[in-house]
Structure 1
Amino acid sequence: MKITDLALVFIMICLPFLIVNEIQLDRLAYISYRNIEIDHIIDTAVEDGVALMLDVDQQGISINQERALDTFLQTLYLNFGLINDNLSKQRIMSYIPVVAIIDYDGLLLYSYTSYTNNSNEKRIEPIWYPKIYYTYNDNARTYYFTLDDYVKVFDMENQTLIEGRRKDLEAKFNDGIIADDQRFDDIRRRAIIQTIEESVGFHINEHNLYASLFGIEYEFMLPVIEKDDWNNTIDDISMLVFIQGLPIGDHGEFYNGYAIGGARIVKDEKYFLQIGDNCIGYYHRSNCIELIDRKLMLDSQKNCALKGYYPCRLCQP
């Protein structure tokens, strides 16, 4: 057999595999692109929702979860091209098992439920559930935490409720978590995360019952949330949205993701950036006597370090 004949045989054998491989690579590239595209759509919608989530007046700051949700959905529908397609809007909603608002003192959840209306008709639709508070019980006291160090303490033996900043309550509690700043913060964070995980996980699992009625063949479950995302979530009033089971391909591929947006109002500590006389950048507390320029600031030491700034040796932030 001539070498040209061997080459033709080789091409005839390998060509189908090369074509199939090229098709698979194109499909994977498309799926990757769609995931990135949907990530951006959801992030943008959450940012818009958070931007209109707060009401600020002389009484203080309050959450307007209805407006936040409406704004989120309008941006979502717009970027998916569904503004005038009510049927597709309802379909998209069925892939959102839960919307969570992490409020200052508790968790607000928007998720599906079933009920019978006044006409004795069974309805399935999403509703806002009552607030779930961030609590911790040590058998003697129940603690109602917030996103900062403000806490309510209910003494079960004396049936009394005391509230205030942790440091201000130290004199009244010489034992337990109030007396230990680090332990207080560790337990507070764990309690908030546990409240979110358990509550959101329950509603996502419950969504499987309703999704099957919508004709969705997908198992909804709480995804793994990165540690940095948890820290961002419990450090500020925020919105957390999950979208799962959204078809994005012809071979059973699904989008499964979440987005978090913070309102940036709980963090009172700000760090100001300034270049020192030695041409090195430092970050300072607001009351540092060396601070002259207050134009640049960040809300965490980590972000300052990522920008290449060092802590001021005088105010020691």
Structure 2
Amino acid sequence: MKEKNVSRITMIHLLGLQTPHSITFLIFFLFLLIYCLTICGNLLIIILVSYSKSLHSPMYFFLSQLSIADILISTDILPNTLYAVLMKGIIISFSDCITQCYFFVVSEGLECLLLTVMCYDRYVAICKPLHYTLLMNFQLCWVMIITCWVLSLLVGLIVTLTISQLDFCGPDIVDHFFCDLDPILQLSCSDTATVLLEVTIVNFVLAVIPFFIIIVSYVYIIITIFKIPSITGRQKVFSTCSSHLTIVCIYYGTIVCVYLVPRRGQSWGITKFLSLLYTVVTPLMNPIIYSLRNKDLKKAVANIITTVCNCI
């Protein structure tokens, strides 16, 4: 057990990405562009699903919730990251750091659960098409969404409350661009066994179990697709879940590399790069992937553009 110190950390110094000075403004404007596109792209999906009657289905309802989670994680991470890029680091209060950690846990847990719910929706649509309307009614959809939000908020609260009870005696430097769990725990001079156990349970509940459910669901989906006699029919059915599968591969691929692969021999530079993928890039890619691969969304956008042009 680490020895406790009398002084307690009140401020945290985040080192940020530590980019070369010559490309500071380039990185800043790149991240600013990514943030603006992420917010606009996800807001567009939320607006389209809300106002377009052709998109009033469980799949797009879940997609709008995923967009809310993407906006939450981007807003939690990117504003501080932008400031840190310009200032070559950022000093924030310990309470702000814990708050950022809380919203990070909530949004990432929500994303995992929503991807699982969306996978179940595709499983029912492809494997049990005759029972889809009965099984995926909007009452069940609301129950699933509320469960996802409540579970994510509760888990985030439990983890961050436990962390806040620890003693943090220094150093006050975190070599990261946001307050992630692991670098924060490294600053503690208390016994972190309880928190580490909680984090392990959280990872199992919010990441491992959902990922296992997604894998099993896609095994059944692929088996069902191969039973379709025509190649055109297979391609048409597979196209309905290809966007979701792409996002799952990107999202879980980076999470596995960051949290489940042993850190021994892995530099913080690589860890920060992988963290950028699921905290910055994935929220940007979600609306792009769904928009490019989905005819219904394209049609809804075209209808809105036509309506606006006619009004003008």
TM-score band, normalised by the shorter chain? under 0.3
- Length-normalised TM-score, structure 2: 0.27
- Length-normalised TM-score, structure 1: 0.26
Structure number with larger C-alpha Rg: 1
- Higher helix proportion: 2
- Higher strand proportion: 1
Q: RCO (CA 8 Å, sep 6+): is it higher in 1 or 2?
A: 2
